[in-house]
Amino acid sequence: MDSVFMPIGLYFGLQYGTDLSDNTVFSIVTAALGGVSIIEYVLRFHRLWKKGSTCRVIGGRRWYLDFFHWVFSGMWMVVMVELIVGTIPTNPPIRLLAMPPTSLLYVFGTQMTIFEMMRLLHIPSPVRVSSQPRGSTLRPGVYSLIEDIVAVDGSGGTEFRERLDRRYRSSHVFRSMLERLSVFWAIGALVSAVVMTSIIFTIDPEIAYTLGWSVPFVLAAKGAIFTWIYVRYMLRREKETWSTQGRV
């Protein structure tokens, strides 16, 4: 919620409630967003890096961190570059400053699409992807997201990574579910990003700024609701398969 209400609320509150220049207004917004992101980044890094970490990737060293953290680092750099570059001019380009959430969709969608193409073409992973070592067969793009976010941010720990790995290996229904969800999120992210870009650069700048910092999160929320419904359906199907066949 801070990623939606903070930039929009700060912008309109400072723009129309103070005599600050446009440059100062956006500098404050950027500093606020950057501060929150840095805190979240450092806390997550500490959980993975600290000695005796209980959420590290399976068989991984401290400096491996996890794949989501490296992707998060890349996303964070893209957003910060856009915000910093956008606040340098005396008259900040508000359309550029409306782009960070859409840029995240581009990065996320592109990474997921590349993973799916490599998986379908049976191209071995050129890098370590969380608990999956370099050279292994890639798993669906959402697999590493589930593994890393639940293990670290959800406090599931390394034990969750191990249980998820066993579940993936033993259940074809579970594997099919993740494959379909990966395609859904990859295509959805890229299509949403293209549509948002066209909107941001064609409508009124302030409306574009408002939509740019709200619509991507609304779309993500709708996608999450669909995912929740679909996962519940597939898990019921998996349970039925187990009951009737004695295996999944």
- Taking residues 19-42, what's their average pLDDT? 87
Tell me the per-residue pLDDT of 64-88, one tens digit each, with 9 for 90 and over.
889 999 998 998 889 889 988 998 8
Residue 4 reports pLDDT greater than 80 = no
Which has the closest alpha carbon to 67: 76, 75, 57, 59? 57
Tell me the per-residue pLDDT of 99-151, one tens digit each, with 9 for 90 and over.
999 999 999 999 999 999 999 999 999 999 999 999 999 999 999 999 999 99
Supply the DSSP symbol for 54: S
Category of 92 on φ-ψ map: left (φ > 0), alpha (ψ -120 to 50) or beta: beta
Q: What is the pLDDT of residue 2?
A: 64
Category of 206 on φ-ψ map: left (φ > 0), alpha (ψ -120 to 50) or beta: alpha
Residue 62 reports pLDDT greater than 60 = yes
Measured between alpha carbons, how far is 138 from 125 in angstroms, rounded to an integer? 6
Q: What is the pLDDT of residue 246?
A: 57
Longest dimension (CA), the chain: 71
Domain regions of the chain by residue span: 2-245
As given in the structure block, the two tokens for residue 179 are 């494959």
